[in-house]
Amino acid sequence: MMYCGNFEKNLEKCNCSYPGCPKKGKCCECIAYHRERGELPACYFTDEEEKTWNRSIEYFMTRRR
Ligand code: SF4
């Protein structure tokens, strides 16, 4: 199986606090997962916002008005 060459670098930058997610460090899978649900991945949010685990676009927009 091929692994993403950016996996370690991605993990260093990942601010997601959701425990045990197998998509951590695999940004393509992470984005696809949340996009299918009309959401954004953790890295779009500040650390404080991210801790709510609310990944909705509505929440993202509300916090930027
Ligand atoms: S943002 Fe979602 S898919 Fe991405 S690592 Fe966190 S919980 Fe997993």
Pocket test for ligand 1, best of 10, 24, 54 (most atoms within 8 A of CB): 24
**Helix runs in the chain, H state only:** 7-13, 27-36, 47-50, 57-62
Question: Is residue 1 very low, low, confident or very high in pLDDT (cuts 50, 70, 90)?
Answer: low
Instruction: Give the per-residue pLDDT at 2.
Output: 72
- C-alpha distances (whole Å) from 23 to each of 19, 36, 42, 43, 62 are 11, 14, 12, 13, 26
Counting atoms of ligand 1 from 1, which one is nearest the CA of 27? 4
Instruction: Give the per-residue pLDDT at 26.
Output: 96
User: Do 41 and 27 form a contact (C-beta atoms < 8 A)?
Assistant: yes
> Which residue has better confidence, 3 or 40?
40
Instruction: Give the per-residue pLDDT at 52.
Output: 98
Q: Give residue ranges with CB within 6 A of ligand 1.
A: 16, 18, 21, 23-24, 30, 33-34, 41-42
For residue range 6-65, list pLDDT tens digits in order. Answer: 999 999 999 999 999 999 999 999 999 999 999 999 999 999 999 999 999 999 999 999
Let me know the angle formed at the C-alpha of 31 by 26 and 32, rounded to the nearest 5 degrees: 100
